[in-house]
Amino acid sequence: MPRPTKQSPERGDARTRLLEAACDVVRQKGFAATSVDDLCQEAGVTKGAFFHHFKTKEALGVAAANHWAETTSALFANASFHELDDPLDRVLAYLDLRKGIIGGEVFEFTCLVGTMTQEVHESAPAIRDACAESIFGHAATLEADIEAARQQRGIDADWTAESLARHTQAVLQGGFILAKATGDPELARESVDHLRNYIEQLFGVAG
Amino acid sequence: MPRPTKQSPERGDARTRLLEAACDVVRQKGFAATSVDDLCQEAGVTKGAFFHHFKTKEALGVAAANHWAETTSALFANASFHELDDPLDRVLAYLDLRKGIIGGEVFEFTCLVGTMTQEVHESAPAIRDACAESIFGHAATLEADIEAARQQRGIDADWTAESLARHTQAVLQGGFILAKATGDPELARESVDHLRNYIEQLFGVAG
DNA sequence: GAATAGATACCAACTGTACGGTATGTATCT
DNA sequence: AGATACATACCGTACAGTTGGTATCTATTC
């Protein structure tokens, strides 16, 4: 899904370009430190266009979180691991996919909604709620496979599929923070490895 | 951060109050959204005092990260779990302590340096580095107990104590994000439970 | 131990500007 | 003709940082 560039004239409309700019710039600088002018410049549009499409900067934040939820859910919905028959294999393949994405520049693999949540959880509830829906909506797609795996293998666990799905998201988000602290993606991958190891152990798989 | 010396005698109250204000306000609003005036008002000092003690807002960010490292390391250094004989017990008791701290208002239990890292990792390397030192310095204190536990129990692991110590910090940081997304501390505690469960399994402890 | 000089710790008032947002325009659709 | 999709120019303010001041320490000298 190649993103239109500033050179190419048939790139998306201003609204879409602003949302994509927000994904990139906010992940680099944070939401508060990203100015409306920053976004307009990155998107190649004017402020008039910005405030035509978004009533306020906060409204853009909400729309960006929703845009993020849409694009990432499409990404994972189309991934090939869903074709695996064994639900546990699907869960583990999901983790492998997540790990494989982590690399290159920090802003390229980190999570927009995790970043925004940290900043605005108190001051902008509308953005926070949109971020929460993205995170937990995504976790819910994983929860189904975890629960299926648990039932299929007859695991009598003291944890719920819901909590384990949420835990995967916590590990990913936390890994991103360590990666940001050092600039080294390996720290995020390392935590995914521990998470995979944990899930294998929960399901009695030999490492 | 250096204790008051003869050259730099008892540092004014204002400096400490500003650092403590930063810990509170930045955890609520984020670093960029926290204005110097916010901090001065919270600390009950004037802007003149602020810029007497800190050359720039960024310098305050560095000092706040160092202050955080100091106060938290003192907190954990004085905790009673260090008296336990079994190193694995110390690791598990550390997790119990971490879990016990999580509760009340979000800004009261979340991590200043994790929050700041997310925001400034690209734009303010000095703050990022101070945050990284706080995070990984803390992880290192845990690493010692993990390594001792591993050697004591003769575990031939495919993971290092260093990576597991870092993973604990990732889980905590990630748990904080989920808690912020919902306002519910339980989500952070839940991830600590999974982490504890993981470590017990790594060391062959029956849940 | 008094006087003095310099450094430190603050305070109040100010400044330049970058920010979010607005007002108003025009071209292109339906 | 009206709505949509932009663009240009502008506005009030909140921001980080400055200036210039005073009070209070500390060190030194006589």
Give the angle B158-B161-B166 at the CA atoms, nearest 5°: 110
CATH number reported for the structural domain that contains residue B155 in this entry: 1.10.357.10
Residue A5 has pLDDT above 50, yes or no: no
Structural domain includes residue B3: no
Q: Smallest Cα–Cα separation from B128: which of A178, A33, A116?
A: A178
Structural domain includes residue B2: no
Give the count of Cβ contacts less than 8 A between chain A and B: 167
Structural domain includes residue B7: no
Task: State ipTM.
Answer: 0.93
Residue A8 has pLDDT above 70, yes or no: no
Domain count across chain A: 1
> Cβ B119–A173 below 8 Å, yes or no?
no
> Cβ A30–B119 below 8 Å, yes or no?
yes
Q: What is the mean pLDDT of residues A124-152?
A: 97
Q: Which of A114, A181, A191 sits opposite B177 (nearest CB)?
A: A114
Q: What is the mean pLDDT of residues A28-35?
A: 98
- Token pair 């890994």 in the structure block, residue: A175
Q: What is the pLDDT of residue B12?
A: 56
Reported confidence tier of residue A19, pLDDT bands at 50, 70, 90: very high
Reported confidence tier of residue A207, pLDDT bands at 50, 70, 90: low
Q: What is the pLDDT of residue B191?
A: 98
Residues from chain B that touch A112, judged by Cβ atoms under 8 A, are none
Reported confidence tier of residue A117, pLDDT bands at 50, 70, 90: very high
- Sort A178 into a burial class: Cβ within 10 Å, 0-12 / 13-18 / 19+: buried
Half-sphere exposure of A203 (CA within 13 A, CB side): 24
Alpha-carbon distance of B136 to B142, in angstroms, equals 10
Reported confidence tier of residue A3, pLDDT bands at 50, 70, 90: very low
Structural domain includes residue B197: yes
Strand C closer than 7 Å to the CB of B11?
A: yes
- Per-residue buried b or exposed e for A185-199, using 16+ beta carbons within 10 Å of the residue's own CB: bebbbbbbbbbbbbb
Residue B29 (CA) to nucleotide D4 (C1'), in angstroms, measures 37
Strand C closer than 7 Å to the CB of A98?
A: no
Per-residue pLDDT tens over the stretch A32-73: 999 999 999 999 999 999 999 999 999 999 999 999 999 999
Residue A120 (CA) to nucleotide C26 (C1'), in angstroms, measures 38
Structural domain includes residue A34: no
Structural domain includes residue B89: yes
Structural domain includes residue A11: no
Residue A96 belongs to what domain range?
65-202
Q: What is the pLDDT of residue B201?
A: 96
Structural domain includes residue B54: yes
State the nearest Cα–Cα gap between B49 and chain A, in angstroms: 25
Residue A117 (CA) to nucleotide C26 (C1'), in angstroms, measures 39
Per-residue pLDDT tens over the stretch B30-48: 999 999 999 999 999 999 9
Chain centroid to CA A176: how far?
11
Residues from chain B that touch A174, judged by Cβ atoms under 8 A, are 169-175, 177
- Token pair 């879990």 in the structure block, residue: B99
- Token pair 């090939």 in the structure block, residue: A80
Q: What is the pLDDT of residue B205?
A: 85
Q: What is the mean pLDDT of residues A76-91?
A: 97
Alpha-carbon distance of B116 to B130, in angstroms, equals 10
Pick the residue from chain B with its C-alpha nearest to A139. B178
Residues 128-167 of A with CB under 8 A from B: 128, 131-132, 135-136, 158-159, 163-164, 166-167
Q: What is the pLDDT of residue B70?
A: 97
Chain centroid to CA A34: how far?
19
Could you list the pLDDT tens digit for every one of the 207 residues in chain B?
Answer: 222 332 333 445 899 999 999 999 999 999 999 999 999 999 999 999 999 999 999 999 999 999 999 999 999 999 999 999 999 999 999 999 999 999 999 999 999 999 999 999 999 999 999 999 999 999 999 999 999 999 999 998 899 999 999 999 999 999 999 999 999 999 999 999 999 999 999 999 865
> Cβ A132–B182 below 8 Å, yes or no?
yes
Q: Smallest Cα–Cα separation from A157: which of A189, A110, A204?
A: A204
Q: What is the mean pLDDT of residues A122-131?
A: 98
Reported confidence tier of residue A206, pLDDT bands at 50, 70, 90: low
Sequential DSSP letters for B94-148: HHHHHHHH--SSHHHHS-HHHHHHHHHTTT-HHHHHHHHHHHHHHHHHHHHHHHH
